[in-house]
Structure 1
Amino acid sequence: MAFSEADIPDLTGKIAIVTAKGGNSGIGKQTVAVLAAKGAKVYLGARSHDKYIEAVADIHASYPSTKASHIEFLEIDLASAAGAKSSAKRFKSKEKHLHLLYNNAGVMGTPQGMLSSDGYEYARVPYTQPHSEPAANMSILKQWAVNVFGTFVFTYHLLPVILSTVEISPPGSVRIVNTSSDGARQAPKSGIPLDDKTVGSSAGRFERYGISKIGVILLTRQFAQRYPAVLSFAPHPGPVQSNLTRELGIPWPIMWILNRVVFKPVQYGALTQLFAGTASQLGEKHNGSYLVPPAKLETRLPHLQCYNDDVGAKVWEWNVAAMKAAGAD
C-alpha cells in the first residue's frame, strides 16, 4: 500500500527542524506544514523573520489545523560555516531535545565561481593529506558550501541534543533526513574532487551540483555508521515545483510549461522525505538508505561513488578539517 500523509503518526511532543532555503518555500514549507499538522513543534529555518511570517501565513491557509501548532522561527544561512554553528547554538539555547532534523537547504546550478557569501571560502589550513583535508586558501564553491559543508556543520553541532533525545525515545524514532537528488549522476565519473582545492571549479554547473549531492549521500551513510542509534536517510524528492531552479535563468514562459508538464506539486516532493522521517516500517536495517518517490527505498544509487564508504570517510574528514579551519568547530 502506498504511503500517504494519512499514514504519518501523531507527532505531539516531537520537536523538528526544517532548514532553509527549503523551510520558507517549496518542499521545505510543505514538510513544515505536515509535521505541524501532525502535532510536532517545528522550527522553520529561514534567512529572515519576514520570510518566516510569510511562510507561516501560507501554511495556516493550506492547513488550518496548524493555527493551533507551534511553528517557531530559526534564523539560518548554511552558506556560512559560522552561521551554521550559530544557528545550532541558537536552537540548543531553546530546546533540550530534537527528534527530527530535516536538512532541506539546497542550491542548484549556481554560476561558475559563485562562492559562499560570508568569506569562509578562504579556509586556511595546512594541506598535508590529499583527498582528506582542504587546501590552504581554498575557494569552496557555493553548491558544495551550502549543500554539503554548511549542512555538515549545522548537524555536527546538533549531535549532542540529537543523541540525548535518543536516550529517552523509542528506537528508530530520532532521525536525520538529508534531502538528496538523483542529480548526483550528473557528477563526473571520477566523483568528488577532494584533491582539488576548489572542490570542482573547472566542472560545469550541473556537474558541481552532482558532486554536492554525492557528498550528501556519502555523509548520510557516514552518519548512519557513526551514530547507528539515529536513523539517517537521503531522500530524492523528484522533479518538483520549487525555487531550486532560480539560478538557472530559465525564461518564465518555459518554466510555466515545465511546471505543468514536468515538475510535480510540492506535496509529491515532500512525501518521500516525510516518509523518511516518520514511517514506522523504516528501521535499523535501512539506516543510511537512499529513497526515491513515491516514498520508497532504492538500492540503486545515482552515482558509483555513492557506494564507496572509504570516500565517504574522507568526505567526513574533509568537513571536520574545514570546520576547524573556519573556526566553527
Structure 2
Amino acid sequence: MGLGYDPDTDVPNLSGKVILITGGKSHLVAPDEQELTVKQIGTSGIGKTTVLELSKHSPEHIYFTGRNEKSAAQVISQCATPSSVTFLPCELDSLDSIRDAAAKFHHSRLDVFIANAGILAVPAAVTKDGYEIQFGTNHVGNTALLLRLLPIMLRTAKEVPDADVRYVTVTSLGYFTHPLNGIDFDGLKSKQENLLLGRWARYGQSKLANLLLARELGKRYPQITSVAIHPGVVKTEMITGLGMFDRILIFGMAPLGMLTPREGAYNTLWAATSPEVRGKLDDKTVLFEPVGKAHGGDAKCRSDELSNKLWEWTVKEVGVEVE
C-alpha cells in the first residue's frame, strides 16, 4: 500500500537495548452474566509481529506481557533469538496482576516501552478494579505498568551513555469519537452506559487518553522520547471479530483496504527505533499516522489542562508516585 517502510532494512541494530511490549487479554461480564474473553493485540496480530520484527535486530532482551502462556511460547519459538525473549504473565485489567508483572522485570535498564495492548468497542463492563473496561485496559492498565517501570527508564536515560529511551503508545484515529468533554472523569468507575455513541465513545475516550498520556509524559520527562501512533486499519481478530455494523464502520475508514499485521506494526517499529522520530516531535504533535506522518489531532488532543488532569488522576488511582 505504498507505506514506504521496510523493517528488515529500516530498523537499526538494537544491540544492548531492552524492550517491553504490552499485550494480554481482559475478561468482562456480558449482560447475560456469561464471562467473555476480550482479546488484546499481544500474542497475536500487531503485538506478535512487533516482537518478531524487533527480535531480528539483536536487542539485548525483549519482554512482552499477556495471559496465554501457550500462545506466548509459540511467539518466543518464532523469534530470532528465543533465549533473549521473556513472557510476563499479566492481566491489564487488574492492578494487582500489573504490580506482580512489574516485579518480574529483572533488567537494570529499559530502553523502549511499547504500550501495545488494547481492546476495541466491547460491551459495557468494568475491570477487576471497577474502571470502565476500555479505559481501564487501554489507558489505566498500560499506564500502571509504565509508572511502575518508569524509574528504570529514567535511570537508563541518565546512566547509559548515548541512551535513547522511548515510550510508544498504540492509539487510534478513532479517538475522535470521545465525549464532548474529552474524558468523562466522573464516570470512569462505572460502565458508562449512558454516553452518547455508547461503546464507541468509551473507545474514543480511551484512545484520547493514550495520546494525552504520551504528551504529558514527554513534557514531564523530556529525556524520554514519547510518541503516540495510529497503526492504520489492520486485519486482525480484533476487527474481524466485530459485528457487521461495526465492521462496516471500520472498513469505511480504510478505502484502500486494510493492512496486514506486519504492515500494521510498521508505525510502531518506526516510532520505537527510527533516529528521525525526535526531530518530528514538538510540544503539540506526538501522534503519527503510518508511517511517521504527523497528525495534529483535535483541540482535546492538544489540551494541556486535560493531559495534566489525566496524569494526576492516573497517578492517584494507580498509587504510584514518580519523582
TM-score of Structure 1 vs Structure 2, range by shorter chain = 0.7 to 0.9
Normalising by structure 1, what TM-score? 0.81
Q: Is the 8 A contact 1:220 1:232 kept in 2?
A: yes
How far the C-alpha of 1:4 sits from its partner, in A, is 2.4
CA offsets, 1:248-272, max 9 Å, x none?
3459x99xx9999732101111000
| Inter-CA distance 170–278: structure 2 relative to 1 (3 Å threshold) | farther
Q: Is the 8 A contact 2:20 2:112 kept in 1?
A: yes
Aligned to 2:30: none
Root mean square deviation of aligned Cα: 2.8
* Matching residue within 293, 297, 309 for 1:297: 293
How far the C-alpha of 1:188 sits from its partner, in A, is 2.6
CA offsets, 1:49-89, max 9 Å, x none?
212112234x34xxxxx046612111111111121222112
CA distance in 2: counterparts of 1:170 and 1:8, whole angstroms: 20
Q: SS of the counterpart of 1:283?
A: helix
Asked whether 1:110 is paired with 2:122, we answer yes
| Inter-CA distance 226–72: structure 2 relative to 1 (3 Å threshold) | same
Q: SS of the counterpart of 2:121?
A: coil
Map 1:142-291 → 2, pairs under 5 A = 142-169=133-160, 173-198=164-189, 200-203=192-195, 204-245=198-239, 248-250=242-244, 262-283=257-278, 286=281, 289-291=286-288
CA distance in 2: counterparts of 1:95 and 1:249, whole angstroms: 42
Aligned to 1:135: none
Stretches of structure 2 that go unaligned for 5 or more consecutive residues are 25-40
CA offsets, 1:16-57, max 9 Å, x none?
111113331111111101111001121121213212112234
How far the C-alpha of 1:307 sits from its partner, in A, is 0.8
Map 1:130-145 → 2, pairs under 5 A = 140-145=131-136
| Inter-CA distance 291–197: structure 2 relative to 1 (3 Å threshold) | closer
Q: SS of the counterpart of 1:32?
A: helix
How far the C-alpha of 1:241 sits from its partner, in A, is 1.5
CA distance in 2: counterparts of 1:225 and 1:328, whole angstroms: 16
CA offsets, 1:129-150, max 9 Å, x none?
xxxxxxxxxxx21000000111
Q: Is the 8 A contact 1:74 1:87 kept in 2?
A: yes
| Inter-CA distance 32–299: structure 2 relative to 1 (3 Å threshold) | same
AA at the equivalent of 2:113: L
How far the C-alpha of 1:323 sits from its partner, in A, is 1.5
AA at the equivalent of 2:179: P
Q: Is the 8 A contact 1:237 1:270 kept in 2?
A: yes
Aligned to 2:312: 317
* Matching residue within 39, 45, 70 for 1:50: 70
Identity of aligned residues (%): 28
Aligned to 1:128: none
CA distance in 2: counterparts of 1:189 and 1:260, whole angstroms: 27
Aligned to 1:131: none
Q: SS of the counterpart of 1:178?
A: strand
| Inter-CA distance 167–284: structure 2 relative to 1 (3 Å threshold) | farther
Asked whether 1:9 is paired with 2:12, we answer yes
Q: SS of the counterpart of 1:145?
A: helix
CA distance in 1: counterparts of 2:120 and 2:269, whole angstroms: 22
Aligned to 2:99: 85
AA at the equivalent of 2:126: L
Q: SS of the counterpart of 1:305?
A: helix
Q: Is the 8 A contact 2:134 2:202 kept in 1?
A: yes
Q: SS of the counterpart of 2:159?
A: coil
Q: Is the 8 A contact 2:76 2:82 kept in 1?
A: no
How far the C-alpha of 1:245 sits from its partner, in A, is 2.9
Stretches of structure 1 that go unaligned for 5 or more consecutive residues are 61-65, 122-139
